[in-house]
């Protein structure tokens, strides 16, 4: 009895591809790296071959930008979804941080790929300050399309650093009600930063705080509190 090929296969061997070709009109495209449930209708609707998202180059950023409005609606839903499931602002910020963390791990990997994949001797930052600088410029550019506005070092605590964004893109359309004025939705961004630092080997606790100033009512400070081990290692490097 001839076995029907499962419609959601990913092709490793050419033999399964050719047998599927005979049976399914969906496999007219030559590449089939994506498990595809859909089908004939979509592949015939677009006359030309349309590269699916997995076939696009990871290094081309210009054509892969996302609509701000689409993102704003999505993020709004994320916040509403999260808010229904928490008790209190701290909990909400923690959950947004966790969601951002999942993005940060991917961002780090993508940035390493973009910056170092062409290099014969790929490297990564092992000193904290250059790593912080690359977050301030490279990560911000990759995620928000512009570098952050400033980096500061805490005067009172030597394990604290701050990244400052005068107009966080994710909060552009958000008005936090007065009774929740403590809340900063940039906790999401803090999660991204925490993941990138973690991935680079600088474990830290990262939080977001509203620090409005004249002319920049949405100014936000991403506060990085490094773990002791990081500072100790930095000391060793110095000597």
Partner 1 sequence: MAIFGLWVINKAGGLVYQRNFADGLAQLTSNEYLVLAGTLHGIHAITSRLSPIGGPSSGAQVIEGESFKMTILLTATGTKFVLLTSLAETSAEIVLQKVYEVYADAVMKNPFHTPEMPIRSEGFDVRIGTLIGDGRTG
Distance separating alpha carbons of residues 37 and 8, to the nearest angstrom: 6
According to the binding rule CB under 8 A, does residue 73 interact with partner 1?
yes
Q: Tokens at residue 77, please?
A: 């839903």
End-to-end CA distance of the chain: 73
Residues 86-145 that bind partner 1 (CB under 8 A): none
Shortest distance (Å) from residue 215 CB to partner 1: 13
Shortest distance (Å) from residue 67 CB to partner 1: 12
According to the binding rule CB under 8 A, does residue 180 interact with partner 1?
yes
| Structure letter (DSSP) for residue 138 | I
Among 11, 17, 34, 72, binds partner 1 (CB under 8 A): 72
Shortest distance (Å) from residue 113 CB to partner 1: 32
According to the binding rule CB under 8 A, does residue 41 interact with partner 1?
no
Residue that is written with structure tokens 């474990």 in the block = 203
Q: Stretches 12-20, 52-60, 133-141, 167-175: which one binds partner 1 (CB under 8 A)?
A: 167-175
- Helix, strand, or coil here: 145? coil
Read off φ and ψ for residue 175, nearest 5 degrees: -115, 110
Distance separating alpha carbons of residues 5 and 66, to the nearest angstrom: 36
Applying CB under 8 A, which residues contact partner 1?
69, 72-73, 75-80, 83, 173-177, 180, 185
């Amino acid at each position: 009895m001839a076995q029907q090929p499962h419609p959601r296969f990913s092709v490793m061997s050419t033999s399964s591809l050719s047998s599927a070709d005979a049976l399914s009109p969906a496999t007219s495209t030559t590449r089939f790296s994506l498990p595809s449930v859909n089908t004939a209708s979509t592949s015939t609707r677009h006359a030309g071959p349309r590269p699916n998202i997995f076939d696009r180059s990871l290094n081309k950023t210009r054509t892969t930008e996302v609509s701000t409005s689409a993102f704003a609606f999505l993020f709004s839903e994320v916040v509403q979804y999260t808010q229904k499931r928490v008790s209190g602002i701290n909990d909400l910020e923690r959950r947004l941080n966790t969601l951002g963390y999942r993005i940060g791990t991917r961002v780090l990997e993508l940035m390493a790929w973009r910056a170092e994949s062409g290099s014969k001797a790929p490297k990564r930052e092992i000193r904290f300050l250059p790593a912080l600088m690359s977050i301030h410029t490279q990560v911000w550019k990759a995620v928000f399309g512009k570098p952050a506005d400033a980096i500061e070092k805490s005067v009172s605590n030597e394990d604290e650093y701050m990244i400052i964004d005068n107009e966080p893109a994710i909060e552009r359309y958000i008005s936090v009600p007065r009774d929740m004025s403590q809340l900063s939705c940039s906790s999401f961004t803090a999660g991204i930063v925490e993941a990138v630092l973690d991935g680079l080997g600088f474990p830290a606790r990262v939080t977001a705080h509203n620090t409005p100033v004249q002319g920049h009512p949405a100014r936000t400070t991403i506060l990085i509190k490094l773990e002791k081990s990081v500072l100790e290692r930095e000391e060793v490097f110095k000597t």
